[in-house]
Amino acid sequence: MGIETPFIIIIVFFSVVCHEIAHGYVALKLGDPTAYKMGRLTFNPVPHIDLVGTILLPAFFLISNSPIMLAWAKPVPVNPGFFRNPKTGMMWVAIAGPATNFAIAIVLTLFLHLASGILPSILVHSLAMGALMNIVLMVFNLLPIPPLDGSRIVARFLKGQALYNYRKLERFGIFIVFGLLYLGVISTILYPALNFAVRHLDLYQYLRL
């Protein structure tokens, strides 16, 4: 990624923290104070650091010179027992994270369109990459692989044995994710989303600086 890599890492880390805060905030609004009481609704990065998702996985992408970067923060604790409808509540909590990444991508893009002329090229390129990385985080988290957010959305519409069997996949989720990364399946899903974002957010002019 070049000399702008530190800036991109900062943007990605801030984005995954916002992602988790969004989960906790929506849970709080739906009646679950667990994350709030545990001090997880904070922009202080320390409580959000996850060994695999915040350190090892981004390091892997950097070492491998990958054009994309995946990361996650330590999941905020959510107790669906506080929700009036636990499955529906968990669905909205899950949606909040990817929606936040989408919002960050839009804000970064709007800022670029307004201020790119007065910013140094390294910062312009970093912000454009940060917007794309947020699209990556949104799409990645919407994959229906437990415990990713997409699985909480799918679970809302499953019942009985199908729901039970689907939730049992969660113990293997991290292995499924790394397996799909190794096989290139996740990249195959992410690249069309990135191309779509570059075109429709008009980011190409900033990425070629």
What are 41-95's pLDDT values in tens digits? 999 888 999 888 888 888 777 777 776 777 888 999 999 999 999 999 999 999 9
Stretch 13-34: mean pLDDT, rounded? Answer: 96
Stretch 94-109: mean pLDDT, rounded? Answer: 97
Judge whether residue 5 has pLDDT over 60.
yes
CA distances from 96 to 23, 54, 131 (A): 6, 19, 17
CB neighbour class for 6 (10 Å; exposed up to 12, middle 13-18, buried from 19): exposed
**What CA–CA distance (Å, rounded) separates 190 from 149?**
16
CA distances from 169 to 2, 100, 145, 180, 183 (A): 38, 26, 8, 15, 19
Judge whether residue 158 has pLDDT over 80.
yes
What is the pLDDT, as a whole number, of residue 209?
54
DSSP class of residue 118? G
Of residues 156 and 9, more confidence is placed in: 156
Give the chain's domain count: 1
What is the pLDDT, as a whole number, of residue 112?
94
Residue 98 sits in which domain range? Answer: 2-207
Catalytic residue list: 20
Stretch 167-176: mean pLDDT, rounded? Answer: 92
Judge whether residue 102 has pLDDT over 90.
yes
**What CA–CA distance (Å, rounded) separates 112 from 22?**
24
Q: Confidence class of residue 15 from pLDDT cuts 50, 70 and 90?
A: very high
Closest CA to 170 of 189, 146, 134: 146
Whole-prediction pTM: 0.91
What is the pLDDT, as a whole number, of residue 156?
96
- Structure-token pair, residue 126: 């970093």
Q: What is the CA radius of gyration of the chain?
A: 17
CA distances from 117 to 70, 120, 123, 126, 195 (A): 29, 8, 11, 14, 24
